[in-house]
Amino acid sequence: MTVTGSRSISNTHSSTVGVDVEGLSAAVGFDVTRTKTWMVSASYVVPRGKYGTLRAHPLYNRKSFKAYWKVGGGYAGKGIAYQVIGICYTHSAR
């Protein structure tokens, strides 16, 4: 069995407070709004008499962050930014 194709996957973020994406991107070291197209290709030999599945899903680098107010510098909230760093494949047979 083989899976091939392409998929557009976006970096993303979530937080407990509104954040400026340009400042957040600079702080975590990657563009949190970037979308990239990944080429997917994998094969798996399914044993005779079995049904197989082959799946491809994004692999993320996770970075936690804390946000502080510009005025006064007090703690404002926290969040997580996810950067797509590759594609992970899983397979099974039953």
What is the rounded distance in angstroms from the CA atom of residue 60 to the CA atom of residue 56?
A: 13
Q: Which residue has the higher pLDDT, 64 or 19?
A: 64
- The whole-number pLDDT of residue 70 equals 83
Please state, as a whole number, how many other Cβ atoms lie within 10 Å of the Cβ of residue 48: 5
**pTM greater than 0.85:** no
Which DSSP letter does residue 73 get? Answer: -
22-36 residue pLDDT tens: 989 998 999 999 999
Q: Write down the domain spans for the chain.
A: 2-93
47-84 residue pLDDT tens: 999 999 988 889 999 999 998 888 888 998 999 999 99
Q: What count of residues does the chain have? A: 94
Based on the number of CB atoms within 10 Å of its own CB, is 29 exposed (0-12), middle (13-18) or buried (19 or more)?
exposed
Class for the domain spanning 2-93: mainly beta
